[in-house]
Amino acid sequence: MSYSRRHTLAMIAGSGITVMLGARMALAKSAEEMIAAFTGGAQITGEGLTLTAPEIAENGNTVPVEVDAPGAEAIMILATGNPNPDVGVFHFGPLAGAQMASTRIRLAGTQEVVAIARMSDGSFARAAQEVKVTIGGCGG
């Protein structure tokens, strides 16, 4: 089954999810620091997080990304190559019907997009994908 953004927004509205989009900080923390803060330094060993993003962005200003981690309490998305890597953290309440969300992010250039999920058993899962931002124009 595929979810559109419209469906996802409806789902979010109906299932008690709160979304905290990354606030701009005076000093941008590095992606590693943010991951460490999110996990409390715990090892990331789990599986079960799917990150869907295009291999090559059609428009670097609005790149669709989707995260899906059945059983997750929260999923953090990071654009590791942006001046401020924090994209946001999706929190899923106990009434959430599915632990998935999609949004669009701006990418400053070719970089790795990383997602970290905190599962209800306290474990963490990681998924990453390289998203290329290209000037294009010569496909045959």
Partner 1 sequence: MIARRHFLQAGLATSALWGTSGFGNWSRLAARQRLGQEDLIGTGGPGNVTLIHITDIHAQTQPIWFREPEINLGVGDALGLVPHVTGAAFRKLYGIADGAPLDYALTYDDFVALGREYGRMGGLDRIATVLKAIRAERPDALLLDGGDTWQGSLPALRTQGTDMVRLFNALGTDAMTSHWEFTLGIDRVNEILETELDPAFLGANIFDATWDEPAFEPYKMFERGGTSIAVIGQAFPYLPIANPNWMFPDLSFGVRQERMAEMVQEVREAGAQIVVVLSHNGFDVDRKMAAQVPGIDVILTGHTHDALPEPVLVGKTHLIASGSHGKFISRVDLDVQDGALKGLTHRLIPIFSDVIAPDPEMTALVEETRAPFKDEMAEVLGTTDSLLYRRGNFNGTWDDLICNALIEEREADIALSPGFRWGASLMPGQEITREDVFNATAMSYPEAYRSEMTGETLKLILEDVADNLFNPDPYYQQGGDMVRVGGMGYRIDIARPQGSRITEMTLLSSGTAIDPASSYVVAGWASVTEGTQGPPIWDVVESHIRKQGTVSIDPNTSVDVVAR
- Cα distance from N-terminal residue to C-terminal residue, the chain: 33
Does the protein bind partner 1 through residue 13 (CB under 8 A)?
Answer: no
The one-letter amino acid at 6: R
Where is 9: in which H helix or E strand?
Answer: helix 5-14
Alpha-carbon span 28 to 112, nearest angstrom: 17
**Of residues 7 and 18, the one with the C-beta less far from partner 1:** 7
Q: Which residue from 5, 10, 37, 120 is in contact with partner 1, where contact means CB under 8 A?
A: 5
Nearby residues of 23 by Cβ (< 8 Å), 6 or more positions away = none
- For the bound state, the minimum distance from the C-beta of residue 76 to partner 1, rounded and expressed in Å, comes to 22
**Of residues 18 and 134, the one with the C-beta less far from partner 1:** 134
Here the tokens at position 33 are: 């620091």
**Of residues 7 and 93, the one with the C-beta less far from partner 1:** 7
Does the protein bind partner 1 through residue 30 (CB under 8 A)?
Answer: no
Q: Which residue from 33, 47, 112, 130 is in contact with partner 1, where contact means CB under 8 A?
A: 130
Handedness of CA 114, 115, 121, 122 (dihedral sign): positive
- For the bound state, the minimum distance from the C-beta of residue 139 to partner 1, rounded and expressed in Å, comes to 2
Handedness of CA 103, 105, 124, 68 (dihedral sign): positive
**Of residues 2 and 45, the one with the C-beta less far from partner 1:** 2
**Contact residues for partner 1 (CB under 8 A)?**
1-2, 4-6, 52, 54-56, 58-59, 64, 102, 110, 130, 132, 134-140
